[in-house]
Amino acid sequence: MVPVTKEYGFSTQQIHAGHLKNSAGALTSPIYQSSTFVFDNAQQGANRFAGEEDGFIYTRLGNPTEQEIELKLAALEGAEAALFTASGMGAISATMHTFLQSGDHVISSEVVYGCTHALFDEGLRKYGIDFAFVDTTKTDAIVKNIKPNTKMIYIETPANPTLDISDIQAIAAIAHEHDLLFVVDNTFCTPYLQRPIELGADLAVYSATKYINGHGDVVAGAGTGKQDMIDQIRMVGLKDMTGSVISPFDAFLVNRGMKTLSLRMDRHVQNAQKIVEFLESEAKVQQIFYPGNPNFAGYAVAQQQMSQPGAMIAFDLKGGRAAGEKFINSVELMSLAVSLGDAETLIEHPASMTHSTYSEADLKQAGISQGLIRVSAGLEDAADLINDMAQAFAKLDTVIPVS
């Protein structure tokens, strides 16, 4: 294995970190498509189960193809350890199952990924875990909601889909003062744009389906943090409670995707910035939500904690939902699809798609309007994306009267 030290840059680490020599000398690591691993003798099997000897046992507990991307992600994040799961929801669910129990209380961002909201508000409530959904962009709202049984603060920043920015460092200080576990969903940034662990979070969680894999061909998740916490998630929430294990083949694809993470992120962000510039000049746009805009509410905090403003954009059209529907039906190059972080630019309607798990009242409270459109800027030529949007705007003339 290439010794991975802080001296290597991000792009070097995303290629080399975690790579283990294989017996054939293959440059690209083989896929260890094996459910179980053979012990030399009874003593070795017993030692591995007792945790007294390193080595693989059974793929639900770990696999070499998975281990390579775990070492890589931990290196990129500057974290002690990482684990991969079968999906982002698998990572979030395994984390919650590991550290919470009946009677506990959690403070969560009110704007989170739709299925995260459903897991918390419906799934975990069934087991007697209580949630306060608060505007975590305001730290005093967090402090006001801390109760004697509060165990965790869970945030998403930038939040899906409104791009709300919460201050990771300030919230980490509150969490540690009150002895609370602090978890950040860092899916929209990846460690290339934002490093929650270095900013004081205990754990970062990811949908690796998105930018980390980046090619729209895998559903996967991940978590990073201190070794003992990652070990606990692996041995409790993942091994016994959810069984949400990534397959060796998917781990192989994620490894391939991760080797170009920094290149892809730079291009995603460039394209997003050009799209935002274009949207600013378009009279049919009511409001743009983008952390790189100086007049965006979260701009100052985003500047402080993100190295670049990301490639997710949300915007509201004059003409609300009817205009939004017409617009997403009119684009030709952009794909009308949920998910994000792929080579293809994706466009979707949160209120009826990714966030349809929210009730009407919760949507309102979270500031997700009926007209909101979310775009994941892909890797195409920006000019082509802008031309596509321009022709879709032209088709809105029947919906939004030109003034």
Any idea which residues carry the catalytic annotation? 60, 113, 185, 210
Amino acid at 257: G
Task: Compute CA distances 147 → 132, 178, 329, whole Å.
Answer: 10, 10, 46
Q: Which is nearer to ligand PLP, 63 or 160 (CB)?
A: 160
Q: Which is nearer to ligand PLP, 250 or 388 (CB)?
A: 250
106-165: contacts with ligand PLP (CB under 6 A): 113, 115-116, 156, 160
Q: Which is nearer to ligand PLP, 48 or 210 (CB)?
A: 210
Only one of the segments 37-45, 85-93, 95-103, 261-269 lies at the binding site for ligand PLP (rule: CB under 6 A); that segment is 85-93
With tokens 């692996």, the residue in question is 234
Q: Residue from 95, 209, 224, 242 that binds ligand PLP (CB under 6 A)?
A: 209
334: left (phi over 0), alpha (psi -120 to 50) or beta: beta
Given a contact cutoff of 8 angstroms between Cβ atoms, the answer to whether 88 and 80 are in contact is no
Q: Residue from 2, 146, 219, 353 that binds ligand PLP (CB under 6 A)?
A: 219
Half-sphere exposure of 152 (CA within 13 A, CB side): 25
Task: Check residue 348 for interaction with ligand PLP (CB under 6 A).
Answer: no
Q: Residue from 150, 187, 255, 305 that binds ligand PLP (CB under 6 A)?
A: 187
The Cβ of residue 234 has, within 10 Å, a number of other Cβ atoms equal to 23
Q: Residue from 93, 207, 262, 305 that binds ligand PLP (CB under 6 A)?
A: 207
Task: Check residue 353 for interaction with ligand PLP (CB under 6 A).
Answer: no
Per-residue binding string, ligand PLP, 38-77, x by CB under 6 A, is: ----------------------------------------
Contacts 24+ apart (CB under 8 A), 252-256: 252/29, 252/31, 252/65, 253/213, 253/215, 253/217, 253/218, 254/69, 254/84, 254/208, 254/212, 254/213, 254/218, 254/220, 255/29, 255/65, 255/68, 255/69, 255/72, 256/28, 256/215
Closest CB 116 distance from ligand PLP, rounded Å: 6
Residue of closest CB approach to ligand PLP: 88
Q: How many residues does the chain have?
A: 403
Only one of the segments 35-43, 84-92, 267-275, 343-351 lies at the binding site for ligand PLP (rule: CB under 6 A); that segment is 84-92
Closest CB 305 distance from ligand PLP, rounded Å: 16
Closest CB 157 distance from ligand PLP, rounded Å: 10
Closest CB 258 distance from ligand PLP, rounded Å: 15
Tell me, by CB under 6 A, how many residues bind ligand PLP: 15
Nearest to 81 by CA among 17, 30, 22: 17
Given a contact cutoff of 8 angstroms between Cβ atoms, the answer to whether 311 and 377 are in contact is yes
Closest CB 89 distance from ligand PLP, rounded Å: 4
* Residue 261, both tokens: 């993470």
Task: Compute CA distances 69 → 90, 183, 264, 269, 330, whole Å.
Answer: 17, 21, 18, 24, 39
Q: Which is nearer to ligand PLP, 210 or 234 (CB)?
A: 210
Only one of the segments 46-54, 126-134, 202-210, 284-292 lies at the binding site for ligand PLP (rule: CB under 6 A); that segment is 202-210
Closest CB 318 distance from ligand PLP, rounded Å: 27
Q: Which residues on adjacent β-strands are paired with residue 335?
A: 346
Q: Which is nearer to ligand PLP, 28 or 352 (CB)?
A: 352
Alpha carbons 366 and 354: distance in angstroms, whole number: 14
* Residue 39, both tokens: 């012990």
Alpha carbons 246 and 13: distance in angstroms, whole number: 22
* Residues contributing to the site for ligand PLP (CB under 6 A): 87-89, 113, 115-116, 156, 160, 185, 187, 207, 209-210, 219, 221
